[in-house]
Amino acid sequence: MTASTGTTPAPTAVPTRVDAVIFDCDGVIADSEGLTNEVLRGMLAELGWQLTREECLAEFAGHALIDRADVIEQHTGVRIDHDWIVRFRAGRDEALRAHLQPISGAAEAVRAAARRFPRGIALASGADRAKIELQLDMLGLADAFGAQVFSGLEQPRTKPAPDVYLSAMAALGVGPERTVVVEDTVAGVTAGVAAGARVWGYAPGDATHTPAERLLAAGAEVIITDMADLVASILDRG
């Protein structure tokens, strides 16, 4: 068992029952962060901002690009616009279509959650809907979530604000205290915590994922290093 508890609340403070599981997409279900990061790094280099892979991930993972427009302008003197973002998304989608792979064990975890909570799983991503749907289709998981797919870019605010998780919980009809959010970025963990949910951080320790200690510092209750632990540790709490 590789899950580890980030905090040790009193037994009455955190109920053991789980009624719903809400998954992030990028880095939790789809192994896409490295692919999109390389496209972004190349386009930022064209603007004059040279970043290492690690620097780019730390700066942008979990955030909508438009929300980082000020930071990009500070480093390049260029204000990214709609056309720039469209060009980025085209390159990103090309890379995804060519190379996207699932996170190891994620499909099995999603299917297990769907069986255990037939009305209680959803996907809540900070990405645009076109990207979310492309990845779910490629990974064969669109049917597992059905209509319960939520884009942060369709909310008043995207992650790290809680809006997308609040919308998902409202649609599922579950309270935050009995909802587990599975996230892999600081922005995502922050969003889940702000929504009042119990957040489990996925941190397998590879180069494209946020280190476990940063997720714990952001408020993650538990760290998962292997998706098999999701089944073993969450699903038996329903």
d(CA 84, CA 92): 12
Detail the DSSP E strand segments found in 61-197: 121-125, 149-151, 179-183
pLDDT above 70: residue 7: no
Q: Going edge to edge, which strands form the sheet with 222-224?
A: 4-5, 222-224, 198-202, 179-183, 20-23, 121-125, 149-151
pLDDT number for residue 123: 98
pLDDT above 70: residue 139: yes
Percent of the chain residues past pLDDT 70, beyond the cut: 91
Q: What is the pTM of this model?
A: 0.88
pLDDT number for residue 58: 87
Position 237 confidence tier, pLDDT thresholds 50, 70, 90: low
Percent of the chain residues past pLDDT 90, beyond the cut: 79
pLDDT number for residue 8: 31
Mean pLDDT value of segment 132-141:
98
pLDDT single digits (tens) 64-90 = 888 899 999 999 999 999 999 999 999
pLDDT, averaged across the chain:
90
d(CA 101, CA 21): 22
Q: Are 47 and 72 in contact (CB under 8 A)?
A: yes
Lowest mean pLDDT segment, chosen from 5-14, 79-88, 90-99: 5-14
pLDDT above 60: residue 12: no
